[in-house]
């Protein structure tokens, strides 16, 4: 059994999800969906930065193109921390393909970093 706070709206319902994935404590149906997915396969978008050379700033912001498995967050950071970019880089440029081995999920640039 897990206790969760629903993040679908500001109400912040305190959900309880039992072992059979029955959700209680929800005010609306969105809570049920959230509770189930949060217990079975919680995922998060990871946002971070990578080192970049030749632009105004030392760091280029990046994100995972889709939410990755919550358990992969720190592994994802390890992969991100190794990357070194050279300007220019543009929003959407793929920095890492299939991050943490998650098929179809890339780490992409989120800021246009022009060459100085």
Partner 1 sequence: MKDVIIIGAGAVGAFIARSLSRYEVDALIIEKEYDVGDVTSMANSAIAHSGYDPVPGTKKAIFNVKGNRMMDQVCDELDVSFDKCGTLTIALYDEQLPMLEALKKRADENGVPSEILTKEQVIAIEPNISKEVKGALLCPTGGNINPFTLTAHAVENALDNGLNITFGEEVVAIEKIDGGFKVTTNKNTYETKVVINAAGLHSDDIARMIEPIDWSVKARKGEYYVLNHFGKGFVKHVLFPLPSEKGKGILVTQTTSGNYLVGPSSEWVDDKEDFSTDTLTLADVRRQATDMVPNIPFYEQIRVYAGLRATPSTHDFIIEPSKSYKDFINVAGIESPGLVSSPAIGEYVVEELVKAVLPLKEKASWNPRIKPYIKVADLSFDEKNELIKKNPHYGKIVCGCEKVTLGEIEDAMSRSLPVNSIKALKKRTRAGFGKCQGGFCQPNVLNLIAKNKGISPLEVKYDGEGSEIVILEVKKEAK
Partner 2 sequence: MREVELAIIGGGSAGLSAAVSAYDAGVRDIVILEKGPFLGGILNQCIHNGFGLTEFKEELTGPEFAARFIAQAKERNIEYHLNSAVSSLTKDKVLSYMNPEEGAVQIKAKAVVMAAGCYERSAGAIAIPGDRPAGILTAGQAQKFLNEQGYMVGKRVFILGSGDIGLIMARRMTLEGAKVLGVAELCAWSNGLNRNMVQCLYDYDIPLYLSHTVSRCEGKGRLERVIISEVDERKQPIPGTEKVFDCDTLVLSIGLLPNNDLLNNLGIPQGRSRGSEVNEKFETSIPGIFSAGNVLHVHDLVDNVVEEARVAGKAAAEYILGTSEEVENDITVVPGNMIGYVVPAKVSSKGDDKVSVKFRVREPSKNVYIVYELNGKQIKKVFKPVIIPSEMEIQALPKSLFNGESGTLTVSLIKKEEVK
74 near partner 1, rule: CB under 8 A: no
Closest by CA to 34, choosing from 57, 69, 6, 62, is: 6
Element (H, E) at 109: strand 107-109
Partner from partner 1, partner 2, none binding residue 65, C-beta < 5-8 Å depending on class: none
Q: Decide if residue 1 touches partner 2 (CB under 8 A).
A: no
Q: Does 94 bind partner 2 (CB under 8 A)?
A: no
Half-sphere exposure of 6 (CA within 13 A, CB side): 24
Residue 45 binding: pick among partner 2, partner 1, none (C-beta 5-8 Å cut-off by kind): partner 2
73 interface partner picked from partner 2, partner 1, none, CB below 5 to 8 A per type: partner 2
């Amino acid at each position: 059994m897990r206790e969760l706070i629903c993040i679908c709206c500001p109400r912040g319902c305190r959900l309880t999800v039992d072992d059979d994935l029955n959700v209680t404590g929800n005010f609306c149906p969105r809570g049920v969906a959230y509770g189930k997915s949060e217990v079975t396969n919680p995922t998060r978008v990871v946002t971070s930065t990578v080192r970049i050379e030749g632009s105004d700033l030392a760091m280029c912001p990046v994100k995972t193109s889709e939410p990755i498995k919550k358990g992969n967050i720190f592994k994802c950071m390890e992969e991100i921390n190794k990357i070194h970019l050279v300007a220019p880089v543009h929003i959407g440029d793929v920095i890492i393909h299939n991050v943490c081995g998650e098929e179809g999920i890339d780490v992409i640039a989120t800021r246009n970093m022009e060459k100085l």
